Amino acid sequence: MSQHWIIHCLDHAGANPTRLRHYEAHKAYLSGALPVRILVSGPLLGEDGETAIGSLFLVEAPDRAAVEAFHAADPFRAAGIWREVAIHRFLKRQDNR
């Protein structure tokens, strides 16, 4: 049975140039075959509404191991962009789409 998971990632201070250098590899990875199904993803933005300060993913996966495998293979992780990552199971109570 699939479960929903949130992956909340915060960047290291000053990571934006590194993030931009690895963006195409990150985007290609997210478009490929993955151990999870991405429902929603995108950058977290700073107070200016433009500067990326992290990433958020809402994914569907059979278990935490699949989520961790997905995260471990992300080029942003390999590049050391994220200073803090939290993975939590998520129970969707409402969806207004």
> Model confidence over 39-70: pLDDT tens digits?
999 999 999 999 999 999 999 999 999 999 99
* Alpha-carbon separation of residue 29 from 23, 26, 75, 87 (angstroms): 10, 5, 7, 19
- Which residues lie across from 23 on neighbouring strands? none
Q: Is 49 a member of any domain?
A: yes
Q: Is 48 a member of any domain?
A: yes
Region 15-43 average pLDDT: 97
Q: Is 56 a member of any domain?
A: yes
- Domain ranges, residue 59: 3-90
Q: Is 15 a member of any domain?
A: yes
Q: Is 97 a member of any domain?
A: no
Q: Is 96 a member of any domain?
A: no
Question: For residue 85, which amino acid is it?
Answer: V
Single pTM value for the model: 0.93
Question: For residue 97, which amino acid is it?
Answer: R
Q: Is 95 a member of any domain?
A: no
More reliable by pLDDT, 5 or 93: 5
95 in Cβ contact with 40 (< 8 Å): no
Q: Rounded CA gap, 40 and 80, in Å?
A: 22
Structurally, the chain folds into a number of domains equal to: 1
CATH number, domain of 11, equals 3.30.70.1060
